[in-house]
Chains A and B, each alone.
Chain A
Amino acid sequence: MLKIKNLHAYYGAIEGLKGVDIDVEDGKITCIIGSNGAGKTTLLKAISGVVKRFGSMLLDDMEIGSFTPRQVARAGITHVPESRHIFPGLTVEKNLETGTFPWHGFFSNASFTKELDEVYELFPRLKERRNQLGWSLSGGEQQMLAIGRGIMARPKILMLDEPSMGLAPMLIDELFEKIVEINARGISILLVEQNAHIALEVSHNAYVMESGKIALQGPSISLQHDDRVTKAYFGSLYKKK
Chain B
Amino acid sequence: MLNNLIGLTVNGLAMGVVYALIAMGLILLVRAVGVMNFAQGDLFMLGAYLSFTFIVNIKLPYWLFVPASLISFAIVGLIFMAVTYWPLREASYPQAVIIATMGAGYVIKELAYKIWGPVALSMPALVINPETGTTKVLEIFGIKLQWQYVMIIAVCAVLIVLVFMLFEKLYAGRMMQATAQDKYAAELIGIPSVVTIAATYMLVTMVVSIGGYMVAPVFFISATLSSLQLRAFAGVVIGGFGNLKGAIIGSLIVGLIEAYATLQWSSYKDAVVFIVLIIVLIFRPQGLFGEKIADKA
Interface residue ranges, A against B (CB under 8 Å): 48, 50, 69-74, 78-79, 81, 83, 85-90, 94-95, 97-99, 101-102, 104, 106-107, 133-139, 142, 149, 153
Contact = CB atoms under 8 A, between A and B. Distances in A.
Contacts of A90: 174, 177-178, 181
A107 B185 CA distance: 20
Given A70-B190, A133-B294, A135-B295, A86 B185 contact: yes
Contacts of B171: 97, 104, 106-107
A87 B190 contact: no
Kindly list the 8 A-B residue pairs having the minimum CB-CB distance in the complex, ordered from nearest: A73-B190, A88-B294, A85-B185, A135-B294, A70-B190, A106-B172, A87-B181, A98-B178
A52 to B, nearest CB: 14
B164 to A, nearest CB: 15
B193 to A, nearest CB: 10
A74 B185 contact: no
A69 B188 contact: yes
Nearest to B190: A73
Contacts of A149: 189
Given A106-B172, A142-B297, A74 B188 contact: no
How extensive is the interface on chain B, given as a class?
Answer: 20 to 34
A87 B178 contact: yes
A89 B297 CA distance: 12
B190 A98 contact: no
B114 interface: no
Contacts, number: 83
B159 interface: no
B294 A81 contact: no
A87 B172 contact: no
Interface string B161-195: 00000000001101101100110111111111001
B177 to A, nearest CB: 6
A87 B177 contact: yes
Given A81-B188, A88-B181, A89-B177, 9 more contacts: A83-B296, A85-B184, A87-B178, A88-B296, A89-B181, A101-B190, A101-B191, A106-B195, A135-B294
A68 to B, nearest CB: 9
Given A50-B187, A70-B192, A94 B174 contact: yes
B294 A102 contact: no
Contacts of A153: 189
B190 A102 contact: yes
A98 B185 CA distance: 10
Contacts of A81: 184-185, 188
10 contacts: A70-B191, A79-B188, A81-B184, A87-B178, A90-B181, A95-B178, A106-B172, A107-B171, A135-B294, A137-B297
Given A48-B188, A74-B190, A102-B189, A85 B297 contact: no
Nearest to B195: A106
Contacts of A69: 187-188, 190
Given A70-B190, A81-B188, A153-B189, A139 B175 contact: no
Interface centre among A69, A83, A134 (most CB of B within 10 A): A69
Contacts of B190: 69-74, 101-102
A86 B297 CA distance: 11
B185 A101 contact: no
A225 to B, nearest CB: 35
A98 B297 contact: no
Contact of A138 (B177, B191, B297): B297
A73 B187 CA distance: 9
B178 A107 contact: no
A107 B295 contact: no
Contacts of B297: 135-139, 142
A106 B170 CA distance: 9
A98 B187 CA distance: 11
A85 B182 contact: yes
B294 A89 contact: yes
A73 B188 contact: yes
A222 B172 CA distance: 48
A157 to B, nearest CB: 13
B188 A50 contact: yes
Contacts of B172: 106-107
A106 B175 contact: yes
Given A97-B171, A106-B172, A139-B297, A87 B188 contact: no
A88 B178 CA distance: 9
A69 B174 CA distance: 20
A101 B295 CA distance: 24
A133 B184 CA distance: 19
A160 to B, nearest CB: 12
Contacts of B184: 50, 81, 85
B227 to A, nearest CB: 31
